[in-house]
Chains A and B, each alone.
Chain A
Amino acid sequence: QQQVKQSPQSLIVQKGGISIINCAYENTAFDYFPWYQQFPGKGPALLIAIRPDVSEKKEGRFTISFNKSAKQFSLHIMDSQPGDSATYFCAAYSGAGSYQLTFGKGTKLSVIP
């Protein structure tokens, strides 16, 4: 059973546009939601993370929106650039009990000039 569902699987956005990636989770014990960016042949790199006590977190061009009641969260990339072309993973983590990160299946983002 997939505990974190991520969509879309792939996304093509024009330079300067907004990229939006959505995730939904089932386990209400999750209390930390990071997003990772991964380039081909590299390990995932932490992009931005949020805890469920806030509804939005912004860092530069990256914003996480969090809806606790709907058990959904999303990543918005403003003013998308070709250098943002990568695979993005949402993840969820519970510090109480298991310390493993549960990842979505990833979204391959392509930003075209």
Chain B
Amino acid sequence: DTGVSQDPRHKITKRGQNVTFRCDPISEHNRLYWYRQTLGQGPEFLTYFQNEAQLEKSRLLSDRFSAERPKGSFSTLEIQRTEQGDSAMYLCASSLALREGISDTQYFGPGTRLTVL
């Protein structure tokens, strides 16, 4: 399967614990995005990388959230001191940007379902 993969698919944690999710984009895609989706809503943008550089962060991304893409390939999203309000589906997407200013197609992974007890 050459699509976007995410790990784990499900995570249950207790309030106050730290969690880390991993995303492997489609090979050679230079842009990687993180979104959060709560029940009955559309995905909401969290952050985006072009290669290894994090170029945009949403106001939704509080100080407890951090994302990295160390070598411009896979990415990790860490949530520290989880809260019940963090319970959601965390989606990763990737795209191939051929040049600046041109909208490109984002392909989504299956998501990581986080439940904070």
- Do the beta carbons of B45 and A95 come within 8 Å of each other? no
Bound form: Cα–Cα A32–B102 in Å: 9
Among residues of A, the one whose C-beta sits closest to the C-beta of B92 is: A43
Number of A residues whose C-beta is below 8 Å from B?
A: 28
Q: List 5 A-B contacts (CB under 8 A).
A: A6-B42, A42-B110, A49-B105, A94-B103, A95-B100
Residues of chain B touching chain A, judged by Cβ–Cβ distance below 8 Å, are 4, 6, 31, 33, 35, 40-45, 48, 55-56, 58, 91, 93, 97, 100-111, 113
Are A98 and B56 interface neighbours, CB within 8 A? yes
- Asked if A95 and B91 make an inter-chain contact with CB atoms under 8 angstroms apart, the answer reads no
Q: Of B93, B102, B107, which is within 8 A of A95 by CB?
A: B102
**A25 partner residues in chain B, CB cutoff 8 A:** none
**Residue A93 lies at the interface, judged by CB distance under 8 Å to chain B:** yes
Task: Say whether, besides A43-B91, A93-B103, A98-B56, A106 and B110 are in contact (CB < 8 Å).
Answer: no
Question: Which residue from chain A places its CB closest to the CB of B110 in the assembled complex?
Answer: A43
* The one of A31, A43, A100, A105 that contacts B42, using a Cβ cutoff of 8 Å: A105
CB distance from A52 to the nearest CB of B (A): 11
B104 near A46 with CB under 8 A, answer no
Q: A43-B91, A99-B48, A100-B56 given as contacts; is B43 within 8 A of A34 (CB)?
A: no
